[in-house]
Amino acid sequence: MIPARRITLFSNWFAIYMRYRMRKAFNRLEVMPFTPKPGHSVLLLCNHFSWWDGLWGNYLAYWHLNRKLYIMMQEDHLQKRMLFNLFGGFSINRSSREMIKSLLYAAGLLNDPENLVVVFPQGELISNHTTDIKVEKGIERLIKNIKGPCQIVYSCALIDYFESLKPSVYFHLFDCGIAGEVGFEELTEKINSFHRQALTDQVNVAH
């Protein structure tokens, strides 16, 4: 398991640089109104369908949720991009016993109300057009080991072009409850309900 070596100076530079890159790559990045709970860390569960997903998590953490970013990455992916380790990336290997160590590490980070941890609950790349979000069981173990106040947030990122040659990204954020107060089955139901709601809302999104 590779722990994060987050350096604030590098993290701040990276957030500013990536916002610039995103503004070049996308027509717009639209975050639906959402306010995180004061005094709570944030477990940000994101749908996972593109190369950009982790970078979008960084964008949300820095510019909208006002938390220090940490992100759970597959170990082989992090090893190829160790620069991300300096921006809060830490590893998980789902085929190793060290997976539990990674989940406990993530839970420990979430004991600090200034932190945000990005996790992809599907565990693999799946089209954002899916109507069913499968939440891996490891999420249950992670949440059970969080000791401090932590808000669980689901982020559904959806892409549309409309009149532009460049895609626009729309982030639909939903409050799933507080760690320790929402069971795993209830959380899974909420995520799927919120995901379907986002797909419906996206049809009428302003552009």
pLDDT tens figures, 13-43: 999 999 999 999 999 999 999 999 999 999 9
Q: Residue 4 burial (CB < 10 Å; 0-12/13-18/19+)? A: buried
Identify the band that residue 86 occupies on the pLDDT scale cut at 50, 70 and 90.
very high
Tell me the mean pLDDT in the region 133-154.
Answer: 95
Tell me the mean pLDDT in the region 170-191.
Answer: 96
Is the model's pTM score more than 0.75? yes
